[in-house]
Amino acid sequence: MHFLLIHQYFLEDNAAGGSRWNEMARIWVQEGHSVTVIAGDVHYMRAKEDQTAAKAFDVNRNAAGVLVIRCKGSKYYHKGFLGRFWSYVAFAFMAVYAGMRFANSAYECIIVSSPPLLVGIPGILLSKWKRIPLVLEIRDLWPESAIEMGVLKNKWLIRLSYGFEKYLYRKARLMNVLTPAFRECLIQEKEIDPDTIVMIPNAADFRWSEHALRSVCVRGVRAKLGLEGKFVIIYVGAHGLANDLMQLLEAATLLRGTDAHFLLVGDGMQKKMLIDEARSRGLTNVSFLDPVSKEQIFEYILAADAGVAVLKKAPIFKTVYSNKTFDYLSCKKPVLMVIDGVSRDLIEQAGAGIFAEPENPADLARKIRIYMDDRVLLRKQGENGYRFVHKHFDREKLAREFLECIENQLKVTGKSAIFDVSKVN
């Protein structure tokens, strides 16, 4: 089959960040299918230093054999909500043009990965123009997330967002959600036919973690980072409003004078503020690193003792899986889970970590001390998590299950088939 994927945040080769679709597309190409991607050229964590010479459209084939059509992004993306909103609008209409100008008519399916929700505009228009089915992937519940975070306040925009969301759900032949809570929300609150929903969650990329487990010298990485003799808690990901990484600085303040050391890898709108705050507090037990490639991040995870997953305390975040949780577990590292809801359920079901109450730094500091005082528990939970994600969250297996679901759906006429995919026992 030939798929057209519309994903504003599809990564460039070796870029830092969540690589869900880079890996999925690679696996599908290996299975003998073709994948073309329409994407933006702005990274969701950090701005390019110079975009003045960027072309409106750049068409290249990546290392995995995926044809990638990149649309020039707005230079205002990292300038707050209005800049980001304008970037969403601009990408939506550039993607329509890219699909009509560069994308041939041989596609059998269009897949749209949201958020942002506005990627549904090119998905719907190109689906109608090419007369092929539309598959919608929901990585986060929009507009609920934006509303709860306080970044979407305009009543007219909220009403319009809900209306477009409802219309997009009606037009999708199949919907993929990333967590069981998303599925429940779509069925119970948005009244979506459960027969049109499949769940292919985020997963562990064992291709990278197994290579790191075989080859990385942990002692050497620690020496390079100046972390010898420390109990290292690593955070990998965005440094934004939703992540609320001030919780980690508060915990670091409480753990000052111990061997605990926080290693924060990534970028985002709040990173400068966090660095300034750590400096003003005189925190020598916190280090900040710039984003690194997917391959290199596993070296840093292996050099840590535990991973931490953290989000702001908000009801909407009880529905999400933390992406980097799977990377930590694939490296046999237990997780300090500072997110309630389904992420907490996953860790406790796997016996692979400890829950700490969000926005309660004292509780997080206490949970870190548990691991520092009990290295047997630390290793045991790391091994538990590794086995659990191997069984239930292997990217290779789930990518093929998603492919099978789409292939089956396209053969169905009338009422959609029922899919029973990767239920965690």
Name the CATH superfamily housing domain 2-203+394-411: Glycogen Phosphorylase B; (3.40.50.2000)
- pLDDT single digits (tens) 41-72: 887 666 665 555 568 899 999 999 999 999 98
Structure tokens at 340: 């309630």
67-71 vs 109-114, strand pairing mode: unpaired
Q: Long-range contact list for 56-61, CB < 8 A, 24+ apart?
A: 56/94, 57/94, 57/98, 57/101, 57/102, 59/102
Where in the chain are all domains bearing CATH 3.40.50.2000? 2-203+394-411, 206-392
Spatial contact of 353 and 385, defined as CB atoms under 8 Å apart: yes
Contacts of 313 (CB under 8 A, 6+ apart): 244, 340, 358, 359
Q: If pLDDT is split at 50, 70 and 90, which confidence band does 73 have?
A: confident
**If you average pLDDT over residues 113-141, what whole number do you get?**
94
Structure tokens at 405: 């679901």
Q: If pLDDT is split at 50, 70 and 90, which confidence band does 421 have?
A: very low
pLDDT score at 263 = 98
Q: If pLDDT is split at 50, 70 and 90, which confidence band does 77 have?
A: low
The mean pLDDT of the chain is 90
- pLDDT single digits (tens) 385-415: 999 999 999 999 999 999 999 998 877 533 3
Using CA atoms, how far apart are residues 189 and 168, in angstroms rounded to an integer? 16
Which amino acid is it at 138?
A: I
Spatial contact of 325 and 343, defined as CB atoms under 8 Å apart: yes
Q: Output the pTM of the full model.
A: 0.89
CATH tag, 206-392 = 3.40.50.2000
- Lowest mean pLDDT, pick from 145-149, 239-243, 250-254, 380-384: 145-149
Q: If pLDDT is split at 50, 70 and 90, which confidence band does 16 have?
A: confident
Residues β-bridged to residue 197: 175
pLDDT score at 283 = 98
